[in-house]
Amino acid sequence: MFRRVHNLRPRCFATANVSARRLASTKTLKETLQEVIPAKQEQFKNIKAKHSQTVVGDVKVENIIGGMRGLKAMLWEASVLDPYEGIRFHGLSIPDCQKQLPAAPGGKEIIAESMLWLLLTGKVPTEAETRQLSRELAEKGDLPAYIEHLIDSLPTSLHPMTQLSMGVAALNHDSVFQAQYEKGMKKSEYWEYTLEDCINLIARLPALAARIYRNVYRSGSDLPAINKDLDLVGNYSNMLGYGANHDLTEYLRLYISIHGDHEGGNASAHTAHLVNSTLSDPYISYSAALCALAGPLHGLANQEVLRWQLAMQKELGDNITHENIKDYLWKTLKSGQVVPGYGHGVLRKSDPRFIALQEFCDTRPDLLQSPTIQMVKKTFEVAPGVLMEHGKTKNPWPNVDATSGCVLYHYGLTEFKYYTVIFGVSRALGALTQLVWARALGLPLERPKSISMDVLEKLITTSQNP
């Protein structure tokens, strides 16, 4: 069923050239980037000139037929994922970031702005730099009227991720990169307009994502105006209608920050990188990434975990024992389904993001008493053993999504079809950062070589009989 266009409130629309108010003696994000880019360009030039033909690994048949797992084949500056240690952002682990990155006023958790600054520049921002970026994002955060019309005209039955991807793609109407490309900008300027688009997109994502939520789950009720003194996620929480819940807002800040980047090979980040390598602008590049994120083996897993947990809760009733959870896990596996929230393409131990979210729960008595969170904990106590006995997955340990949606559910954000949208707001931090770096380093169009099975068999024969 299609909905009538409604809710067209007068807005003060931000334009791409709105400049953030500079705080005294504070460098802007762009100025900081301008300082760090030359050294990285030099490093890249040196590697390219001296080592283009140096062999740093080999390609096995399993890489070709196994989804390119483990193949070191792309450059990604902002984060590196160790299978056992987990993610590091420019060398900082999640606990390091929790100690060093500025939080929101009155909050304790990392905020998106400080994570974005770190991802883009490799530097820990000061409190003043973080606030300045918050203000810049808030000033640029309003949606253009045509996007409001577009989103309001979509059927509420359309999956929120499809709506998000459409909204992000349509924002490319305002792409400065595209406009400058048409005018004939120099290659050395690509990164600057990419940065401008990326910042504008990140700024507008909360209003877009919140509008989708309000339309689908709150009958298109009005969104509050963006508060220029609040951080990006504080505003997002407000616009969703949960701003008064300090704990949920803090949870969203933490979740969105630590979920922002996870190396380049994951499907969403890689998609953005691939599409942008054709010099498509950041909006359509990220729109494509959101389509990859919408798959159940990737971003949709947080929705699937909730669905699975609730079905288990329903079936077990009050009999939530380790034994019964084990039986339910086996039932899932024997029916040919995966256990959502467990396993990972790279990680080989419990995901540090899962641990950080569990630690958040451990400090809140209400979360500790929540039946859904207790179920997550009990499942964690038995699932790795069952998965090891099952013997298929290389990683029987939980990933971030084993718990992420359950906390939202406890706080009353129960519409789990929406959870991947929150992930989409988060992943923009890392995926868009890398577009800026790809253009600053002048990375080329991505074009790996594919081969047929016949060619593969010939290569195997040659390799066995050199």
Residue (141 or 340) nearer to ligand FAM, CB? 340
Q: Which residues, numbered 18-47, are part of the site for ligand FAM (CB under 6 A)?
A: none
- Please give the C-alpha separations between residue 147 and each of 73, 91, 142, 190, 461, in angstroms, as whole numbers: 37, 38, 10, 26, 56
**Catalytic residue set:** 298, 344, 401
Q: Which residues contact 69 (CB under 8 A, 6 or more apart)?
A: 62, 63, 345, 346
Residue in 61, 297, 388, 456 binding ligand FAM, rule: CB under 6 A: 297
Work out which of 21, 246, 331, 394 binds ligand FAM, going by CB under 6 A: 394
User: Which residue stretch of 131-139, 161-169, 277-285, 297-305 sits at the interface with ligand FAM (rule: CB under 6 A)?
Assistant: 297-305
**Of the two residues 72 and 394, which places its CB atom closer to ligand FAM in the complex?**
394
Q: Is 301 in the site for ligand FAM (CB under 6 A)?
A: yes
- Closest contact distance (angstroms) between CB of 394 and ligand FAM is 4
What residue number has its CB nearest to ligand FAM?
Answer: 343
Question: Cβ 379 to ligand FAM, closest distance in Å?
Answer: 12
Closest approach of ligand FAM to the CB of residue 343, in Å: 2
Between 10 and 336, CB nearer to ligand FAM: 336
Torsion over CA: 362, 366, 370, 372 (sign) = negative
- Least distance between ligand FAM and beta carbon 306 (Å): 12
Of residues 81 and 110, the one with the C-beta less far from ligand FAM:
81
From residue 359, alpha-carbon distances to 109, 247, 399, 400 in Å are 12, 13, 14, 12
If the CB atoms of residues 217 and 342 are measured against ligand FAM, the closer one turns out to be 342
DSSP string covering 43-102, please?
Answer: HHHHHHHHHTT-------HHHHHTTTTT-------SEEEETTTEEEETTB-HHHHHHHS-
Binding test (CB under 6 A) with ligand FAM, winner from 203, 401, 405, 422: 401
Residues 4-34: b if buried by 16+ CB within 10 A, e if exposed: eeebeeeeeebeeeeebeeeeebbbbbebbe
Among 298, 410, 427, 439, which residue interacts with ligand FAM (rule: CB under 6 A)?
298
Separation CA 423–CA 112 (nearest Å)? 12
CB of 429 to ligand FAM, least distance (A): 15
Q: Which amino acid is at 348?
A: R
Residue 304 and residue 332 in contact, taking contact as beta carbons nearer than 8 Å: no
Q: Which is nearer to ligand FAM, 139 or 327 (CB)?
A: 327
**Based on CB atoms, which residue is closest to ligand FAM, 207 or 312?**
312
For 62, half-sphere exposure in the C-beta direction (CA atoms, 13 angstrom radius) is: 4
Closest contact distance (angstroms) between CB of 260 and ligand FAM is 12
Q: Whole-number minimum distance, CB 428 to ligand FAM, in Å?
A: 15
Q: In the range 62-81, which residues lie near ligand FAM by CB under 6 A? A: 69
Question: What letter does residue 226 receive in the DSSP assignment?
Answer: P
| Residues contacting residue 386 through CB under 8 Å, at least 6 positions apart | 326, 329, 330, 333, 339, 396
Structure tokens at 36: 């760090």
In the complex, what is the shortest distance from the CB of residue 307 to ligand FAM, in angstroms, rounded to a whole number?
12
- Euclidean distance between the first and final Cα of the chain, in Å? 64
Q: Which of 389, 392, 414, 457 contacts ligand FAM by CB under 6 A?
A: 392
Tell me the per-residue interface mask from 352 to 391 with ligand FAM, x by CB under 6 A, - otherwise: ----------------------------------------
CA-wise closest residue to 194 among 75, 122, 289, 282: 282
Member of 257, 399, 420, 426 binding ligand FAM (CB under 6 A): 399
SS3 for 342?
strand
Q: Least Å distance between CB 419 and ligand FAM?
A: 11
152 near 220, Cβ under 8 Å? yes
Residue 313-352 contact track with ligand FAM, rule CB under 6 A, x = bound: --------------------x----xxxxxxxx-------
Question: Is the Cβ–Cβ distance between 324 and 381 less than 8 Å?
Answer: no
Question: Which of the ranges 223-231, 242-250, 392-400, 414-422 carries the binding residues for ligand FAM, by CB under 6 A?
Answer: 392-400
Instruction: Please name the amino acid found at residue 439.
Output: R
Helix (H, G, I), strand (E, B) or coil at 440: helix
Contact with ligand FAM (CB under 6 A) among 238, 350, 395, 420: 395
**Count of residues of this chain found to bind ligand FAM when the rule CB under 6 A is applied:** 21
Binding site for ligand FAM (CB under 6 A): 69, 297-299, 301, 333, 338-345, 392-395, 399-401
